[in-house]
Amino acid sequence: MPSFLSVRRLSKHYSGVHALQGIDLEIEEGKVLGLVGPNGSGKTTLFNCLTGFTRATAGHVVWCGDDITFLAPDQIARKGVVRTFQQKMVFPQSTVRENVEMAWQARRADGSHHILGGCDDVMRFLGLSPVEGTLAADIPFGFARKLGLGLALAARPRLLLLDEPAAGLNLDETRELGSLIGRISGELGMTVCVIEHDMELIMSISERIVVLDAGQKIAEGQPDQIANDPNVIAVYLGEKFAKRRAAQ
């Protein structure tokens, strides 16, 4: 049986800078995978390679048995791998509803009956209905983040890649986002891979965590294993985090 998504020895070099160095990664269907690491460790580059926005220098990305390494972003999205962006995540001069509609119609129904029946379902799921008539440029940042998520959901992915979905959110919003991601995985049955710096969030939602540093995978495992991994503490989490976690 082919695996869901597997990354095989993926490398990306930018004239001398080795953004990714032979990454191996498996994403299991139905799980939430956390992807963490210091700035510049190659997390977003990995996402770009998975979704076709960056062409890998070497290695392969295999999605449900198909090699998608060199497909265009829109082809990959139509196959069911959809990502969000850290910035510029919405269509600013369109209303929230129009945003979701654009995303919805971009991918034609593939016959499988999806649990989200339409744009209204997407907006209700995310609590965007109250602002559906507002221009996306005018809604508060927290809503814009959710709308970015909504666009990706409206494209009805099987694998959802979230690039720092909590960046810029306050505590309450982050907590809400955490439960949303849980529901996306649980209720909608999507597989989720999250890049995030908020360790509490990532520890609470992920079933497995992969740590990158300088373009290499330095650790992989359950959240608890990662939190106690001395190597990860040294390069990313820091002693403070480890002590605080031990105290809890």
Partner 1 sequence: MTTAIARFRQSFPGQHATSDVLAVRLPILLLLALPLLAPTLFPTSRLVSLAVTASIYVIVANGLHVVFSYNGQLSLAHTTLWGLGAYSAGLLLVHYDLPIALLIPAAGLTAALGAVLIGIPAFRTSGFSFAIVTFAAAEILRLIGNDWTRLTHGGRGITIDLFTAPTALGPIKFDTFNHLANFYYLTLAFAYVSIAGIWAIRNSSLGRTFIAIKENEQLARSLGINVYFHKLLAFAVSGFYAGVAGVLFLYHQKHIDPGQLSPFNALNSIQFLLMILIGGRASTLGPVIGAIVVVFGPEVVNSIFGNILTPTRAQIVFGSTLALSVLTAPNGIAGQTRDGFNTFVAVTRRSRERGRSWPVSMLIGLGYSFWPRAAQRHGINVRPEREP
Site residues for partner 1 per CB under 8 A = 51, 53, 72-74, 77-78, 82-85, 88-94, 98, 101-103, 105-107, 133, 135, 138, 151-152, 154-155
Q: How far is the CB of 212 from partner 1 (least distance, A)?
A: 21
- Residue 133 or 186: the one with the smaller Cβ distance to partner 1 is 133
Q: How far is the CB of 69 from partner 1 (least distance, A)?
A: 17
- Residue 12 or 217: the one with the smaller Cβ distance to partner 1 is 12
DSSP string computed for 18-78: EEEEEEEEEE-TT-EEEEE-STTSSHHHHHHHHTTSS--SEEEEEETTEE-TTS-HHHHHH
- Residue 50 or 205: the one with the smaller Cβ distance to partner 1 is 50
Q: How far is the CB of 90 from partner 1 (least distance, A)?
A: 7
Q: How far is the CB of 101 from partner 1 (least distance, A)?
A: 6
What torsion, rounded to 10 degrees, do the Cα atoms 7, 155, 145, 142 define? -140
| 243 three-state secondary structure | helix
- Residue 64 or 106: the one with the smaller Cβ distance to partner 1 is 106
Retrieve residue 197's tokens. Answer: 């710096």
What letter does residue 143 receive in the DSSP assignment?
A: H
